[in-house]
Amino acid sequence: MRTKPLAVAALLSTSIPVHAVFERTYHSSPLAIQPLTVLVRAPSYDPQNSTLFLVCPTGSAIAQPSPVIYDSTGELVWADPTIGGCNDLNLQTYNGKKVLTFWAGNGNPGTGVQVGNGTARIFDEAYRSVANVSAVNPGGGTDLHEFRIVQPENKTALVTAYTPVPADLSVVGGPKEGWYLNAIIQEVDIASGRVLFNWTSFDHIALTESYNNISQAEDGLSSQTAWDAVHINSIEKDSHGNYLISARHTWTVYNIDGRDGQILWRLGGKNSSFTVTGNDTADAQFHWQHDARWRGSNVISLFDDGAAVLGGTFVINEPVATGKFFQLDLERKTVQLVNRFIPAPNAGPSFAEGSTEVYGSQVVVGYGSNPWLTVHDLTTQQLLFSAVIGPNNSTLWLGGITNYRVYQTSTNEFIGRPQTTPAVTAERDSLGALSVYVSWNGATQVVNYALLTGADAGSVKGTLRTVQRTGFETQISGEGSEGYVQVAALAKDGSVLGTSAVVPVPTVPLV
């Protein structure tokens, strides 16, 4: 629908792409995925290495756009580039089952078209497609910014959509016969596709609430350059049936009545319903924010980008993007900043995207157009873990590698059971030494690999050696192999999770 690229990428993509420069590649798999580079890891952090990070790296330095799961040692766990560009990979509950959810399609909040036209998708633990969800929006399809299954009912989903509508924009200095990019939120029944709630920004939010300077940004003269006044990027439904939405371009979090769509109150922006109190009033503001979530009945967390790019202009309102928690007094209508999570060792404003999520006693912050993630203790704010998607190379940020949100799960909550078998290749190095390389994309329970061998393809059964899985791909010495090899993937209890194809051992090259 919209062809105008986000200026971040337009400005910075000159020295990019750098495909096949930094990606990790494998002997047994054609995947070429950026590494997760770990910069800080507290000794107490994730002792069993069971944490999984769910991301969708995109950008001009990404050779294989795909949903990606990494573990906390930085190793790849799963990627499927046949899916293509995605956003918002998450683990949610649908129909009583743990599912992987994401949005896939055209558009990219960090480096391409600012809003998306795609499909919200649901995969089971075997990485099979079990449902697709779409907004009902003939003018723009299903947007990439939100796909949240409403809990505990686990039957309906919240999605965003955008569509250009004709509008008089003269009140903000735009054309009288202009175009407005209407932000739509819908709650959709997943099984039937029926729209249960439909709400648009144009019907409820004054043009004058916007901070998206129409002279700097889109001109609003055509449907292709419709003015993105509000830019909704998160929706959450509370237990009263009301919707909390984050609107980046009005710097406002709105609470919307689930019965009639009226705005119950605004937090932030030009017309906040709340007065800032507490001793940190300066930092209690937020700009260009993402991912507003309830954390209990009167605390809201969000990711405060502190910056944006409007047209070709970098707008920096805060020097560093941070995760923030606000305590609301809903009677007195006061708000105070109660927690702030600051990135390290890299720090700076984020020009797009980002998330602040809570897992037990930890907070995971994703910095969006800066492809960093940090994990902090929720109470003490102590930095426990810090990593970068891709190398620790600032040249690649701002459009080279970006990531919309960072969600987390663990190998205790999510059991990846791929439908494939382990992939194996047997190779000799230049000295003739034989190695067998094995990987099993998406398998989360493999602890050991057993190398089996036999003189011919039909007689492979003797176990030559058993080695620990060392990461996405494990190298096994092939010394002593007969003519054929096969690898069995073993669980912690020694049971066989899967066996590879039988492959011939390459002959020793004549020197």
Residues that bind ligand NAG (CB under 6 A): 1, 15, 18, 21, 39, 48-49, 73, 95-96, 117, 119, 129-132, 136, 139-141, 152-154, 195, 198, 200, 203, 206, 208-209, 213, 215-216, 271, 273, 278-280, 338, 345-346, 391-396
Provide the minimum distance between the beta carbon of 436 and ligand NAG in the complex, in angstroms, as a whole number.
Answer: 22
Min CB(430)–ligand NAG separation in Å: 27
Cα 103 from chain centroid (whole Å): 10
Q: Given the complex with ligand NAG, which of 189 and 479 has the nearer CB atom?
A: 189
Measure CA 155 to chain center. Answer: 22
With b meaning 16 or more CB within 10 Å and e meaning fewer, what string describes 300-314? Answer: bbbbbbbbbbbbeee
What value does the CA radius of gyration of the chain take, rounded to a whole number of Å?
25
Whether 87 and 102 have beta carbons less than 8 Å apart is answered as: yes
Toward ligand NAG, which CB reaches closer, 462 or 494?
A: 494
Closer of 13 and 477 to ligand NAG (Cβ): 13
Q: Which is nearer to ligand NAG, 143 or 353 (CB)?
A: 143
Residue 389 near residue 368 (C-beta atoms within 8 A)? no
Helices within 198-253 (DSSP H only): 201-204
Q: Which is nearer to ligand NAG, 317 or 499 (CB)?
A: 317
Angle, alpha carbons 323-325-326 (nearest 5°):
140
Give the residue with the Cβ less far from ligand NAG, 281 or 420: 281
**Smaller CB separation from ligand NAG, 38 or 505:** 38
Report how far residue 140's alpha carbon sits from residue 287's, in angstroms, rounded to the nearest whole number: 26
Of 51, 53, 63, give the one whose Cα is nearest residue 25.
63
C-alpha distance from residue 337 to each of 34, 235, 270, 341 (Å): 36, 21, 18, 11
Q: What is the bridge-based pairing of β-strands 448-454 and 462-468?
A: antiparallel
Q: Nearest approach, Cβ of 105 to ligand NAG (angstroms)? A: 7
Tell the smallest beta-carbon distance from residue 458 to ligand NAG (Å).
Answer: 37
SS3 state at 479: coil
Q: How far is the CB of 97 from ligand NAG (least distance, A)?
A: 8
Give the residue with the Cβ less far from ligand NAG, 452 or 497: 497
Contact in structure between 369 and 87 (CB atoms under 8 Å): no
List the one residue out of 120, 250, 125, 249 whose CA is nearest residue 186.
120
Cβ at position 391, least distance to ligand NAG in Å:
6
* Integer Cα distance of 347 and 370 in angstroms: 9
- Give 129 or 361: the residue with its C-beta nearer to ligand NAG: 129
Name the minimum Å distance from CB 200 to ligand NAG.
5
* Minimum distance of ligand NAG from residue 77's CB (angstroms): 13
Q: Calculate the alpha carbon distances from 68 to 3, 24, 45, 161, 192 in Å.
A: 27, 13, 22, 24, 29
The rounded distance, in Å, linking the Cα atoms of 111 and 106 is 11
Q: Least CB distance from residue 142 to ligand NAG, whole Å?
A: 9
**Nearest CB to ligand NAG, comparing residues 242 and 393:** 393
Inter-residue contact 366 to 338 (CB < 8 Å) = no
